[in-house]
Amino acid sequence: MTETRARSKPKVPRACSDVFRFWASIALGLLASILYLVVVIALEVAGTRRLPTDVAQLDLEFGFGARLAIWNGFAVAYLGFGLRGFARCDRGELVRRVLATPLPTSRFKRWLLTGGGGLVWPIVIAFVAFVTIITALIERSRSTSLVLGLTVLALAVMVNGQRGYSDWTTWAVFATVMAAVHLLPLVWKGEPRRVWDVVALATVGLVFYWVAIVLPIIAYSMSFVQTMAVACALAHLWLLPGRR
């Protein structure tokens, strides 16, 4: 009787849980990164690949390659878990369990468990992936002009009847000045550490502007352009000499 009842119980695979999919996908992404590094090192030891002598090329091959392997492993695993889990689950039983299971009362637990069902972790993961790609694709000398150019473009173009320089002028000027500071390394040949500190402060200001003004209207097309400007600013800061 018990065995028959167990067989007739609606099935909800563990992969239907956001928490399980998130952390299991992270684990598989890390595993993919480790396997990537093992394969690259094995090929270089065997003489099939040449070991890069240039520091930038070495960082691109190992640092960027490993981060990209983590991201791809996470994305593929998360998609696979989702497709497999929801294809085999009982919809009615899944809804019943979701409604019957309250969220943790602790705010920290809700944030830790995939952002409490919100967009915290997806935004963080997507932003890290975006910055990783930007870092690998652009050179330091080009990223300086990209930060200022994209910021000015995002504030000058009118979208939905709004233009940054006319509708939130003070913030727009602030963002433009913070973006323009990224040109400082081209004209000030001072101590690298001091230059980096100034650019770092400007980057913090630009990120603050993005959170305060751009994030609430992130659905607008020019908000994506401003987001790209912030990503370029972070990439430029990372590549700039003087970083500890």
Which pLDDT score, from 0 to 100, does residue 222 have? 74
Does the structure show a pLDDT above 50 at 56?
A: yes
Which pLDDT score, from 0 to 100, does residue 243 have? 66
Tokens at residue 174, please?
């602030």
Does the structure show a pLDDT above 60 at 5?
A: no
What average pLDDT does range 54-78 have in this prediction? 76
In order of 19, 133, 149, 232, 242, the CA distances from 144 in angstroms are 39, 16, 9, 8, 16
pLDDT band at 120 (very low <50, low <70, confident <90, very high): low
What average pLDDT does range 94-101 have in this prediction? 70
Average pLDDT across the chain, whole number: 76
Does the structure show a pLDDT above 80 at 221?
A: no
pLDDT band at 201 (very low <50, low <70, confident <90, very high): very high
Does the structure show a pLDDT above 70 at 67?
A: yes
pLDDT band at 203 (very low <50, low <70, confident <90, very high): very high
Separation CA 172–CA 142 (nearest Å): 22
Identity of residue 95: V
pLDDT band at 2 (very low <50, low <70, confident <90, very high): very low
pLDDT band at 6 (very low <50, low <70, confident <90, very high): very low
Which pLDDT score, from 0 to 100, does residue 84 have? 81
Q: Which residues contact 208 (CB under 8 A, 6 or more apart)?
A: none
Does the structure show a pLDDT above 80 at 92?
A: no
pLDDT tens per residue across span 131-158? 665 655 555 555 566 788 888 888 888 7
Of 2, 22, 6, the residue nearest 14 (C-alpha) = 22
Neighbours of 96 (CB within 10 A): 13
Of 160, 140, 164, 141, the residue nearest 151 (C-alpha) = 164
Which pLDDT score, from 0 to 100, does residue 185 have? 80
Percent of the chain with pLDDT over 90: 7
In order of 76, 89, 98, 205, the CA distances from 16 in angstroms are 16, 8, 10, 40
Residue of 191 and 202 predicted with greater confidence: 202
Highest mean pLDDT among 108-112, 177-181, 186-190: 177-181
Burial of 242: CB neighbours in 10 Å, binned 0-12, 13-18, 19+: middle
